[in-house]
Amino acid sequence: MNPEAITLQTSDGLALEGELAVPDEPWAAVVLAHPHPQQGGNMRSIVPGALFEALPAAGVATLRFNFRGVQGSEGHHEFGVGEQADIVAAIEALHPITEGLVLVLAGWSFGADTSLAVDDPRLSGWCAFAPPLRVVKSEAMAAAHDERPKLLVIPERDRFLGPDAARAATAAWVNTRIEVVAGADHFFVGRIEQLPPLVLSFLTELGTSPS
């Protein structure tokens, strides 16, 4: 499937570059958010790259984009605050195409924290890969006490937030499940193939399934 290059427009007037892949008959939709821009993160980083390849092939409409100030996207880094508007712009671009389908935010690291801070009525849930839970202050994590489902995928050997720390940090969260990827580090090296099935299973749990 050949992805389509698209331009997202944020509420504060920035143009962001993105790519959209929509199967002929999608059964679910996902917005991907990439890792930290100041550490080389972009929409083609390993986790969003793997998901963008696997999910459309499995019938899921998928949009990835570069946060403000990254590569061809306008603006500058705003430490997870302005980037929330970038995610909303991605939701706005994808939702009209896939209205009526389950729509999930799936972010990795910085993108996970920033996604968990976004509260949008069009969302069905959140899937967070290796969230450090420190890019955005915990009290600003809109997803924490939202009734919609959250799946936190935690690498067993994550140096930023391991399984025990993740369980402690989210003990008071609502409707949240932690899935530990055995042997994985923060970058899921050698374990990347385990991630698309986790997203697909989560989408199915939310009430959809491939035809």
CATH number given to 4-205: 3.40.50.1820
The predicted-structure confidence for 133-152, as pLDDT tens digits, reads as follows 998 877 779 999 999 999 99
The predicted-structure confidence for 127-136, as pLDDT tens digits, reads as follows 999 999 998 8
Q: Residue 155 above 80 pLDDT? A: yes
CA 110, CA 5: separation in Å to the nearest integer? 23
Across the chain, mean pLDDT equals 96
Q: Residue 100 above 80 pLDDT? A: yes
Q: Residue 208 above 80 pLDDT? A: no
Q: What is the pLDDT of residue 211?
A: 52
Cβ contacts of residue 21 below 8 Å, gap of 6+?
A: 1, 2, 3, 4, 52, 55, 56, 61, 62, 63
Q: What is the pLDDT of residue 2?
A: 87
